[in-house]
Amino acid sequence: MTLFDTIVIGKGLIGAAAFHHLSRQTPNTLLIGPDEPANKMTHDGVFASHYDSGRLAHLHGKSPVWGELFRRSIGRYRELEKQSGIDFYTPVGELYVVDPHVENGYNDPKNIEHSRKHLKAELQSLTHDEQRALIPTLAFPDNSLILWEKTPAGHINPRQMLQAHVKVGQQYGGKVVTDTAVQLKYKGHHLQITTQSGQQFEAQRVLMATGAFTNSYDLLPEPLPLHCKTEIIVLGEVSKAEAERLSTMPIVHYDLDSDTLENIYMIQPVQYPNGRFYIKLGANTVADRFLTTLEEKQAWFQSGHSDEMLEDLKTAVLQLVPGIEVISWHTERCMITRTPNKFPIIKAIIPDKLFVAVGGNGSSASCADALGEMAANLIIHNQWQDSLEESLFQ
């Protein structure tokens, strides 16, 4: 049996990025994780939330720490695309919009100034009239506060970005096994992993990047304090001509004053694997629930009742993009993994043996590269290496 230096469990966005950065430094690295299910209804394993073609990417964050993570990652997108030969990034700018009486980190003056000064984000406050003149495809209430971030803000294809990280990790010599890890235990001085199909692998060190399913299998000495929230998105199919008409539309983060929705994000129509074009809008909703068991999470991804928010989400799209011509609508389901302090947990569970990198808090897709690198450096050196405070990620 091959003894690997490091095994990464979890082929999601953070796990794939960690695999890339670990393989660059120690090629004897293995990534274990399943592919996207061919049929969600019959799949009986783990799921992930990167089964999508559009996620926000920007410099300005809801706090300086998130902003720094975004800066590191977005600055390497083009390099990753070039090295992998896989395109995943489209810079179109972003609008941050806030209804009166709604407060968040994005419109905090000190945070805006930090993003301008330290992240070099080009941020400009716009009046309602200036916004309509600059970006006539979008409409917001007259009294909204509007902040415009120019490129490099835009959107990424998370499926493609994941494949880019995996491909580059393999270029450095890393290996990939398509399976689901279900048990981890000590065997002598090493860690032994058993998969759902019965395969076994051994490693000197293991990194768990297992997202919402971290506490679902026999992989940790004790559960981590993770809270897994359901998330609903709506996809509106448009024609290719309509997608081209809206091709310069920026991404949107909109904190609205509503009884049913909050923290809206929206992405211009992009092409999905089925060849069709969809505009995407997601939000926190009154229908969101917190799930704990493996069976609850599987049932949500398989057949959760996401259509209960369809009309509210449709209405939001039609109000924000007046005149958009939508052929059909459908909802999709994903999940956000939250932590007590709203930052990812990246730490050693057993020093020099077992590590975790989990808890994206709904913001980790675009900065997965930075989080994966942070975890890789912690494993390689067995101590915190980053300029960001270690205590934030504990």
> 332-353: per-residue pLDDT in tens?
999 999 999 999 999 999 999 9
Sort strands 200-208 and 3-9 into parallel, antiparallel or unpaired.
Answer: parallel
- Identify whether the C-beta of residue 253 lies closer than 8 Å to the C-beta of residue 265: yes
Six-digit token pair at 382?
Answer: 């067995």
Work out the pLDDT band at 1, boundaries 50, 70, 90: confident
Six-digit token pair at 251?
Answer: 């991404």
pLDDT digits (tens, 9 = 90+) for 245-268: 999 999 999 999 899 999 999 999
Phi, psi of 386 (to 5 degrees): -95, 155
pLDDT digits (tens, 9 = 90+) for 139-181: 999 889 999 999 999 999 999 999 999 999 999 999 999 999 9
Q: What is the pLDDT of residue 220?
A: 96
Distance from the Cα of residue 37 to its chain's centroid: 18
DSSP collapsed to 3 states, the chain: CCEEEEEEECCCHHHHHHHHHHHHHCCCEEEECCCCCCCCCCCCCCCCCCCCCCEEECCCCCCHHHHHHHHHHHCCHHHHHHHHCCCCEEECCEEEEECCCCCCHHHCHHHHHHHHHHCCCCEEEECHHHHHHHCCCCCCCCCCEEEEECCCCEEECHHHHHHHHHHHHHHCCCEEECCCEEEEEEECCEEEEEECCCCEEEEEEEEECCHHHCCCCECCCCCCCCEEEEEEEEEEEECHHHHHHCCCCCEEEEECCCCCEEEEEEEEEEECCCCCEEEEEEEEECCCCEECCHHHHHHHHHHCCHHHHHHHHHHHHHHHCCCCCCCEEEEEEEEEEECCCCCCEEEEEECCCEEEEECCCCCCCCCHHHHHHHHHHHHHHCCCCCCCCHHHHC
Answer yes or no: is pLDDT of 75 > 90: yes
Six-digit token pair at 314?
Answer: 């449709």
Six-digit token pair at 179?
Answer: 């399976």
Answer yes or no: is pLDDT of 100 > 90: no
Six-digit token pair at 364?
Answer: 């980790």
Work out the pLDDT band at 102, boundaries 50, 70, 90: confident
Q: Report the percentage of the chain scoring pLDDT > 70.
A: 100
Work out the pLDDT band at 107, boundaries 50, 70, 90: confident
- Identify whether the C-beta of residue 205 lies closer than 8 Å to the C-beta of residue 353: yes
Domains in the chain and their CATH numbers?
Answer: 3-51+159-225+340-393 (3.50.50.60), 90-154+227-337 (3.30.9.10)
Across the chain, mean pLDDT equals 96
- Identify whether the C-beta of residue 191 lies closer than 8 Å to the C-beta of residue 354: yes
Work out the pLDDT band at 380, boundaries 50, 70, 90: very high
- Nearest CA to 330 out of 239, 266, 234 is that of 234
pLDDT digits (tens, 9 = 90+) for 118-149: 999 999 999 999 999 999 999 999 889 999 99
Distance CA 211, CA 123 (A): 32
- Nearest CA to 386 out of 337, 339, 344 is that of 344
- Nearest CA to 121 out of 63, 79, 61 is that of 61
Tell me how far CA of residue 155 lies from CA of 18, 158, 162, 198, 362, in angstroms: 21, 9, 14, 39, 15
| 174 burial via Cβ count (<10 Å: 0-12, 13-18, 19+) | buried
